Amino acid sequence: MLVNIFQCLNTYLQSQIIGQPALVKQLLIALLADGHILVQGPPGLAKTRAVKVLSDCIEGDFHRIQFTPDLLPSDLTGSDIYRPELGDFTFQAGPIFNSILLADEINRAPAKVQAAMLEAMAEKQITAGRQTYALPKLFLVMATQNPIEQEGTYPLPEAQLDRFLLQLNIDYPNEDSELEILRLNRGEAQGVVKQKPIHINQESIFEARKSVLGIYMADDVEKYIIRLVMATREPNRYSNRLTLWLDMGVSPRATLALDRCARAHAWLEGRDFVTPDDVQTMTYPVLRHRLLLSYEAQAEGIDADSVVKHLLNQVTSV
């Protein structure tokens, strides 16, 4: 069964990326839900390794782009190159034409580059000159940003943040995980291979996505998703705190994302139906980057996760 293959993939990834179980699972959910993921955390927490190990298991090309302030859109998308022997221009595809793309420190790129990413993520195409080029059918972007160093960065606009299916905040591993990382790294340096990687072709991924969409979701669970979304737009109906903390609610993309991610979460758990727990689990990564917090919330030290927690306490699942 397809779900068994992906569960084995999850197990393998967990054995290679120690101490970051949430990162591994959310990467698989993004893959199954056909979306992109934004990962925020300090350097050195296996963000690059996670995508690289995943790409080694999947049929498709992988490319890592280090975003810098001097990056140009053509460095990402490619450009027309003049061929003297042909007397004409031909398009030279850029690194964005890969199935799995790691956009490292995406917030260090200027607005023009971010705009090029916006088109690619939203429409799976890029425009160079007067021509539009389709990206691969399997196209997954994992972007990272460092929450510590903000000097020389360009904050992502709300429109681009909304294009990310999920945002995951990761932190340092615990003591036991740190020891496992040490031993795994030493074993790799010595050429010791403990487990063979799992290989999945693209057709299996597309088939799995169809299975995820076929997961049963009861009317009450659908209405629960709608109530959560509407509570961000009409907070006065639920809580004075929400009214004070929120400047703007989430878009219909959040509704669609929460639906797809809850289904993918249930499917990975081996169930053929979605529960309110699936919705609640996925509410944090789906909503945290889409909520626009007020100055009052920021002054009180209230972050997006605190707002989501309060939201889940106020909106009942029945």
Note the pLDDT of residue 107: 85
The angle formed by the CA atoms of residues 252, 229 and 316, to the nearest 5 degrees, is: 155
Question: Are domains 2-187 and 214-314 of this chain identical in fold?
Answer: no
pLDDT (tens digit per residue) in 194-212 = 667 788 999 999 999 999 9
Does 156 or 304 have the greater pLDDT score?
304
pTM of the model: 0.90
> How many CA atoms, within 13 angstroms, populate the side-chain half-sphere of residue 122?
13
Note the pLDDT of residue 310: 94
Local confidence band at 192 (pLDDT 50, 70, 90 cut-offs):
low
Domain 214-314 has CATH 1.10.8.80: yes
Note the pLDDT of residue 215: 94
Mean pLDDT of 267-280: 95
Hey, what are 172's tokens?
Answer: 């340092």
Boundaries of every domain in the chain:
2-187, 214-314
**Which is it for strands 125-128 and 100-104: parallel, antiparallel or unpaired?**
unpaired
Is 91 within 8 Å of 131 (Cβ atoms)? Answer: yes
CATH domain 2-187 topology: Rossmann fold (3.40.50)
Report the number of secondary-structure helices (H) and strands (E) in the chain: 14, 11
Note the pLDDT of residue 127: 82
Note the pLDDT of residue 115: 81
Q: Which residue is it, tokens 């993921």? A: 37
> How many CA atoms, within 13 angstroms, populate the side-chain half-sphere of residue 141?
30
| Cα–Cα distance, 176 to 97 (Å, whole number) | 39
| Cα–Cα distance, 297 to 293 (Å, whole number) | 6
Note the pLDDT of residue 116: 83
Hey, what are 283's tokens?
Answer: 């509410």
Does 224 have pLDDT greater than 90? yes
Mean pLDDT of 283-307: 92
- CA 123, 164, 293, 68 dihedral sign is negative
Mean pLDDT of 218-222: 95
Mean pLDDT of 244-270: 95
Is 289 within 8 Å of 163 (Cβ atoms)? Answer: no
**Bridge partners for 122 per DSSP:** none
Q: Where are the beta strands (DSSP E) in the chain?
A: 37-40, 62-66, 78-83, 88-93, 100-104, 125-128, 131-134, 140-145, 166-169, 246-248, 292-293
Q: Where are the beta strands (DSSP E) in 94-227?
A: 100-104, 125-128, 131-134, 140-145, 166-169
Does 193 have pLDDT greater than 60? no
pLDDT (tens digit per residue) in 20-54 = 889 999 999 999 999 999 998 888 888 888 888 99
Q: Which residue is it, tokens 């490292």? A: 104
- Percent of the chain at pLDDT above 90? 51
